[in-house]
Amino acid sequence: MKAHFSAPLLLVALTAIVTGCGSVTPSAVGAVPTATSATPIIAASDTPLATPLPSDAASPSDAPAADPLAVAANWPTYHLNAQRTGLQIGFPAPKSPLSKVWTAKLDGAVYAEPLVVGGNVIAATENDSVYALNSKTGAVIWRQHLGTPVALSTLPCGNINPLGITGTPAYDAATASLFLVAEVTGPHHMLFALNPANGVVRWSRNVDLAGDSPITHQQRPAMAVANGYVYIGFGGLAGDCGQYKGEELGVPTTGTGSTIAYRVPVSREGAIWATAGPVIDAAGNLYISTGNGASTTTYDGSDSVVELSPKLTMISRFAPSIWANDNARDLDLGSSSPALVPGGFVFIAGKRGVGYVLHQGALGGIGGQVSSASLSCGVYGGMAQSGSTIYVPCQSRLREVQISATGTIKVGWITGSGLGGGPAVIGGGAVWSLDAAGGSLWALNPATGGVLASVGVGALPHFASPTLWSGLVLVGTMTGVVAVAG
């Protein structure tokens, strides 16, 4: 899961369990033990509320039947929706010059995309804290510190220090819960369900599978909620050290019941690590990408797009005919999540910079793409999409791609170096993208890629993606959150 570029201004650079290369069909594994009193969590908010809210209960069964936050949850998951389009209808057009409205300095870097729930900005930090911020002022409404993050010096490799909450949380209106995974000292990976109104922990449980080495696994992809499950992806640390296998887990949103899992059938590696997480179709099926595997002789499910059922049984998959060379050179598809395209297509591109169009429901096996084309740039992070037009993050540039009604690829404009390049979102007649190296936000013309407006926002983590809400562009930085007037 290595990323092969650097950003000078960054403070840091970047189941039944399936074994071997046989069957890839998972089954439910035993319920993961819930957190005990020894688990390093704070059971109630450690920052007094400006306005007292009703007390919460520890049991998810006490969640309100009618969720008062659901209507206002305008950005509840990575890139707004289960398809990860990043398309916000009704957002205002950008004004030039852009201006910062507020800056909230928090207790750690914000790698996760900011969310908006109930009109409040939700931010998660690498210091294992979750914040609710006033959307107008950036003032802290509540803070929940969930544990002690893992120091990089205690890990065999990696590039985030400390390592806490990396994957973007997700809000579920059905249970009125905010879900996130925190890596805590041990190390362990803990799934938490929070009340987004006051930060109280409703429940938590360990999500490290039996047989895994938590010290070599990293939870980087965004959470997704569908089918009564919260879905969680795992890969390895930067450097691909140690023994790990990529896996996608499903934990019931109620907090009770068995964990289900799909494990990539590699001998080693095969990370599921793309920051956008799984993309989910109308039937509730998941589309994920996998990273390079250890094999260069026998196909092992790595360097692939995989379609999974709601219970995480494999339906179909695709790998390029050059998968072995991709594995040998670490040029896999796992660096980005797929995009679902009208007409029943799937688009994917990875580190090699080749785009592939596939059929939904029958991805094509090895070399079975509908079409392919060179994008002339390696792809990292979540894509943005408006219909059949896709905006692809190409390291320090942004590339437009269009998919025809027959599934052919038309490669469009590309920005100059440093003009965006991070995962984009769309709104107000603009494509919004961050430049990690330059620490800036760019509003681009969606038809030409031309610059409409820009503003400096400070040092950014790799693969940072903005959020569009109520006239604000919200950006997670290495020190907190910045709000820009759109």
The domain limits of the chain are 74-485
Under-70 pLDDT residues of the chain: 1-73
How does the average pLDDT of the chain come out, rounded? 88
Tokens of 92: 């205002």
Tokens 């580190």 belong to residue: 351
Report how far residue 303's alpha carbon sits from residue 324's, in angstroms, rounded to the nearest whole number.
9
Question: What is the CB-side half-sphere exposure of residue 253 using CA atoms within 13 A?
Answer: 21
What local confidence, expressed as pLDDT, does residue 69 receive?
A: 44
For residue 187, is the peptide bond before it cis, meaning its omega torsion is within 30 degrees of 0? yes
CA 469 to chain centre: 18
What local confidence, expressed as pLDDT, does residue 59 receive?
A: 32
Yes or no: say if 110 and 125 are a contact pair by the CB < 8 Å rule.
yes
Q: pLDDT for 455-479, tens place per residue?
A: 999 999 999 999 999 999 999 999 9
Interstrand relation of 279-280 and 140-145 (parallel, antiparallel or unpaired): unpaired
pTM of structure: 0.87
Burial 74-95 (b: 16+ CB within 10 A, else e): bbbbbbbebbbbbbbeebeebe
The domain 74-485 is placed in CATH, from the list 2.140.10.10, 2.60.120.260, 1.10.760.10, 3.30.70.870, at: 2.140.10.10
SS3 readout for the chain: CCCCCCCCCCCCCCCCCCCCCCCCCCCCCCCCCECCCCCCCCCCCCCCCCCCCCCCCCCHHHCCCCCCCCCCCCECCCCCCCCCCCECCCCCCCCCCCEEEEEEECCCCCCCCCEEECCEEEEECCCCEEEEEECCCCCEEEEEECCCCECHHHCCCCCCCCECCCCCCEEECCCCEEEEEEEECCCEEEEEEECCCCCCEEEEEECCCCCCCHHHEECCCCCEEECCEEEEEEEECCCCCCCCECEEEEEECCCCCCCEEEECCCCCECCCCCCCCCEECCCCCEEEECCCECCCCCCCCCCCEEEECCCCCEEEEEECCCHHHHHHHCCCCCCCCCEEECCCEEEEECCCCEEEEEECCECCEECCCCEEEECCCCCCCCCEEECCEEEEEECCEEEEEEECCCCCEEEEEECCCCCCCCCCEEECCEEEEEECCCCEEEEECCCCCCEEEEEECCCCCCCCCCEEECCEEEEECCCEEEEEEC
Interstrand relation of 365-366 and 305-308 (parallel, antiparallel or unpaired): unpaired
What local confidence, expressed as pLDDT, does residue 395 receive?
A: 84
What local confidence, expressed as pLDDT, does residue 10 receive?
A: 32
Tell me the residue length of the chain. Answer: 486
Q: Which amino acid is at 79?
A: H
Report how far residue 395's alpha carbon sits from residue 340's, in angstroms, rounded to the nearest whole number.
22
